[in-house]
């Protein structure tokens, strides 16, 4: 669960930052600030998750998290080069909710099944599952996005250097167009055409990647419901809120 959660979420974060810069024209600072609603919703839901797990069980809570992520990425598959931040806020908030609903119970399951004497090992395993998911997310969704972008971008009729740069990356296309304009080799209207083509192509690439993330999240939700069993009774919720001085892990017998 941790691996799949981080696969779709890290892939999403990676592409979102690029999308708002290349397609919507945000600065790096503005792009970073777009994720603030996710941080807020994630922290709030993380505080509520122990009670939810205690009442409904870890399996249902994690499944709800994947459903939330499916809705989040489904909404993001509708974006385009003219999408406003007002539209992005809702799925960004849902991403934080889905993150907490999936990873908090999953982390608890790992630590709760680890003897107290080996708590460090359990923590390392938990970190490893997330790092593997993050690497796979950037690799898979990033590759898909790159393929769709290169098939979609069209700068035919412009300077050969711009066409070559556009096939390489959106950033290279915009930088090359600006450099050629400064040298007098491109008109302002041509630079705007390059920016428009890049925005359209990367928006399509981002939307397709988010659709793929939505499908993966839906499949993970089904897997959690159909193939996974909760830990014994109310212990699932109890470990998430250990008593004062407790570790939340099972002592070695």
More confident call, 39 vs 229: 39
For residue 252, give Cα distances in angstroms to 91, 119, 162, 164, 239: 42, 10, 63, 61, 15
Residue whose token pair is 């002592």: 251
Here the tokens at position 150 are 């290169």
> Which 3-state string (H, E, C) describes 144-179?
HHHHHHHHHCCCCCCCHHHHHHHHHCHHHHHHHHHH
More confident call, 234 vs 35: 35
Cite the DSSP H helix spans in 57-159: 58-76, 85-112, 119-152
* pLDDT on residue 110: 74
DSSP 250: B
Query: What structural domains and CATH numbers belong to the chain?
Result: 2-135+207-238 (1.20.1250.20)
Look at 131-135, 154-158, 177-181 and tell me which has the smallest mean pLDDT. 154-158
* pLDDT on residue 116: 77
| Long-range contacts, 181-185 (Cβ 8 Å, 24+) | 185/159
* pLDDT on residue 38: 94
Query: In degrees to the nearest 10, what's the CA dihedral of 225, 231, 236, 240?
Result: -100
Here the tokens at position 166 are 């556009």
* pLDDT on residue 241: 43
More confident call, 75 vs 110: 75
Bridge partners, 115 (sequence order): 250
* pLDDT on residue 252: 40
For residue 123, give Cα distances in angstroms to 37, 91, 116, 242: 28, 30, 11, 16
* pLDDT on residue 11: 94
> What would the pLDDT profile of 77-92 be if each residue is shown by its tens digit?
999 999 999 999 999 9
């Amino acid at each position: 669960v941790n691996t799949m959660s981080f696969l779709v979420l890290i892939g999403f974060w990676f592409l979102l930052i690029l999308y708002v810069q290349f397609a919507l024209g945000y600065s790096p600072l503005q792009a970073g600030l777009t994720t603030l609603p996710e941080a807020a919703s994630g922290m709030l839901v993380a505080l509520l998750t122990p009670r939810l797990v205690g009442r409904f069980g870890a399996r249902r809570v994690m499944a709800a998290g994947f459903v939330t992520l499916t809705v989040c990425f489904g909404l993001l598959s509708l974006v385009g080069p003219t999408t406003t931040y007002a539209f992005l806020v809702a799925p960004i908030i849902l991403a934080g909710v889905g993150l907490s609903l999936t990873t908090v119970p999953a982390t608890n399951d790992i630590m709760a099944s680890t003897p107290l004497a080996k708590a460090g090992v359990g923590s390392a395993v938990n970190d490893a599952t997330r790092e593997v998911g993050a690497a796979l997310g950037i690799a898979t969704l990033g590759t898909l996005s790159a393929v769709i972008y290169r098939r979609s971008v069209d700068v035919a009729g412009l300077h050969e250097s711009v066409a070559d740069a556009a096939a390489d990356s959106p950033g290279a296309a915009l930088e090359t167009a600006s450099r050629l304009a400064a040298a007098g080799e491109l008109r302002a209207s041509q630079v705007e055409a390059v920016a428009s083509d890049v925005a359209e192509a990367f928006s399509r690439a981002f939307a397709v990647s988010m659709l793929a993330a939505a499908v993966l999240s839906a499949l993970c939700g089904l897997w959690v419901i159909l193939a996974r069993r909760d830990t014994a009774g109310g212990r699932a919720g109890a470990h998430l809120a250990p008593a004062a001085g407790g570790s939340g892990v099972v002592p070695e017998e």
